[in-house]
Chain A
Amino acid sequence: MNSSLKTLLSIGLGLFILTAPLLFPNYQTQLAVLWLMVLLALTWDIMGGQMGYNSFGNIVYFGVGMYTTAVIQRGLFFNVDEYASMAGGTESQLSLLDYLLSLGLGLASGALLCVVLAVVLGAGILGLRGHYFAICTLGLGIAAGEIASGWDFLGAGSGLVTPLFPETFFGRGIFFYYFFLILAAVSFVVLRYLYSERFGLAINAVRDDEDKAESMGLYTTRYKTIAWSVAAVFLALAGGAYGNLIGFIDPMDVAFAGPTLGVWMVLMAILGGKGTLWGPVIGATIFHITQELFWTYLLGWQRVALGLLIIIIVVFFPRGILGWIREQWPERFGQQVDGEEQR
């Protein structure tokens, strides 16, 4: 492929991404969720791919961010407890400024809380390795869902309604499409920077041989905690916004959605190729589109089709799409035997 064609293609793709919600107004929410998927896969890959810690509990940060944002948004204008017990009975409209301010404040608090949570949880469980870490995080996700469904302050099992999106010249779909687009792009850029320097090498070293990394004097615990906190920040922001996009927070199906989002983020990263920067992006895109096609054209069989897809991924592309390409053409990824003579 020559370079001018490449530039033309990337400009075209860029324009398409920027204008997609205007071109397909009926799919705005789906397109916004696409970027959410990309973000979920990217943040899962920090731990799962680059660091070799398979976490099934990242959904905790997503849910905690979502609830924190909603509670703050509510608390600024209503009594949360009263509000929750009425289960959305007193719906009223916020002005755009109030809405954005409360959303911003809520997202910031959610992100902060999740960093604290990541550090506290990390101190307890980042010492676990392999299967033990995976099982422990799986438990965390389930426990968080159970706690939220039993906590009356958060509306318990009947959920929490987030504030209505104010009426303005642009709709909720457009707003959250660009929100998730920017969030996914920012996380991509931040991760690209982190992976390209010492931090990236250090977490790769932990993945390849943590005992060796320790015996070389690396501050492994610090790196692991930072990696988890970075994932937590982006997940909290995504969760807070997703609650507002959906409009209703169900503890098990929206906030701590372990069996859906929590598993999908792992699948998407593996499908695209875990441990690579572009892999999760590619995996999330393909996964989301195929999943939506299954829902549309194979209704009734969509879960079967999804299961089949998962089996095909694991059997034929155990290292993901990018991992497979890397195995076929390693020299494209900078691995080569240098022909030049010894200096």
Chain B
Amino acid sequence: MSHLLEVRDAAKSFGGVVANENISIDVPEGKIIGLIGPNGSGKTTLFNSIVGYHPIDSGSIKFSGKELTQLRVPQIARMGLLRTFQQTRIYGGMNCVQNLMISTPTRNESLRAMFRPIPPEVTEQAEELLEFVGLYNKRWLLAGDLSFGQQKLLEFAMALMNKPKMLLLDEPTAGINPTLINGIIDRLKLANAELGITLLVIEHNMRVIMNLAEHIYCLAHGQLLAEGVPKDIQHDQRVIDAYLGAN
């Protein structure tokens, strides 16, 4: 069985600090996969390695059968592998609609397209997506003036605007009001089911990740500790020890 994303024996250390060691994960196409682990266990480092922020020391990362380890961040993004950030990143000086309009796919952007006016379909699509994440009536506000939670939603909409094949989400519900969290889970599931976007989600909120993911990988101290369906992970003694501490 071929996987959309295959990480094999990835290792990364920063000086003497081993952030990732022999990590292998598979993400099949069309699925929602979870990635959990205590703070400092190397989840974000793994994300950064996958999207090309830093080279890995050894191992291989393949996306749709292509090796990613030698590619740079924008090249990987153009292949349809996108990530969102734990510390939300949006274009603060532009309004929400503009934030989405500049997030269209750039896979085959020609030099001439850079100087063409923005087609009306793009504006329409931007407004539809803003409605989808519930920011429609804030669309003319500067993105920098939105609350943190709203910025997370905007960043999610920007990612969807790019029509990725796969999306890496770094704590999509951190810092978000509990009543909004259900809305986010629904939207993530919708994006997966209707738009066919494969998701790999880092999450600390267990209720969210157990609800969302079909398969979960758990990291601890830079190593893969356990993997399995949510039910198994919940009852895995090693995972419980990693989170709560063992004697």
Contacts and interface: CB of A to CB of B under 8 A. Distances in A.
Contacts of B102: 198, 201-202, 204-205, 213, 216, 218
Interface string B135-166: 01111111011000000000000100010000
Interface string A214-231: 111111101100100000
Given A208-B94, A209-B89, A214 B118 contact: no
Interface stretch (B21-29, B35-43, B76-84): B76-84
Interface in A169-209: 194, 196-199, 201-202, 204-205, 207-209
A198 B98 contact: no
B82 A216 contact: yes
Given A198-B116, A212-B90, A218-B102, A338 B73 contact: no
A337 B109 contact: no
B113 interface: yes
Given A208-B92, A335-B140, A335-B141, A215 B114 contact: no
A143 to B, nearest CB: 30
B74 interface: yes
Contact of B115 (A197, A213, A337, A339): A197
A217 B105 contact: yes
A300 interface: no
B111 A338 contact: no
A338 B139 CA distance: 8
Interface in B222-246: none
A212 B154 CA distance: 13
Contacts of B144: 208
Contacts of A222: 111, 114
Interface in B60-119: 73-74, 77-78, 82-83, 85, 89-95, 98, 101-103, 105-107, 109, 111, 113-118
A127 to B, nearest CB: 12
B51 interface: yes
A334 interface: yes
Nearest to A330: B142
Interface in A300-338: 334-338
Contacts, number: 115
Contact of B136 (A214, A218, A275, A342): A342
A337 B95 CA distance: 11
Interface in A80-137: none
B91 A208 contact: yes
B18 to A, nearest CB: 25
Contacts of B98: 201, 204
A215 B51 contact: yes
B120 to A, nearest CB: 12
Contacts of A339: 137
A97 B103 CA distance: 51
A295 to B, nearest CB: 37
A223 B94 CA distance: 17
B134 interface: yes
B107 to A, nearest CB: 7
Interface string B174-218: 000000000000000000000000000000000000000000000
Nearest to B80: A217
B94 A218 contact: no
Interface of B: 51, 73-74, 77-78, 82-83, 85, 89-95, 98, 101-103, 105-107, 109, 111, 113-118, 131, 134, 136-142, 144-145, 158, 162
6 contacts: A198-B113, A205-B94, A208-B94, A216-B103, A337-B140, A342-B137
Given A215-B73, A216-B106, 14 more contacts: A198-B115, A201-B94, A204-B102, A207-B93, A212-B90, A214-B74, A215-B51, A215-B89, A218-B74, A334-B95, A335-B95, A335-B140, A343-B131, A343-B136
